[in-house]
Amino acid sequence: MLITDAQDSLVWSRDAQQGWAVGAYRDDAAEEPESFLHHQRLHHPSALLPLVRHTLCSVSQTRAQDRGRR
């Protein structure tokens, strides 16, 4: 899982933060995230946990569907 600013890398100044982005990658180190969410208006740390949970649920659902297709 990768957590960054919604626009780019995490910034040093919290005042410059533009929100959160959460990406989940497969274990095989794929270049593209399996799931990626961002929210540009919520930059408080409390907004991060719901994004992480949603990303994990999305990954879990995608992987379950993939197993069902095999």
Q: What is the mean pLDDT of residues 40-57?
A: 83
Domain count, the chain: 1
CA 66 – CA 64 distance, rounded (Å): 5
Question: Which pLDDT does position 46 carry in this prediction?
Answer: 83
CB 35 within 8 A of CB 52: no
- Please give the pLDDT value at position 40: 67
Structure tokens given for 3: 């957590």
Tell me which residue range forms the domain holding 46.
2-69
Q: What is the pLDDT of residues 2-45, one digit of tens each?
A: 888 888 888 788 778 888 888 888 776 667 777 777 776 777 78
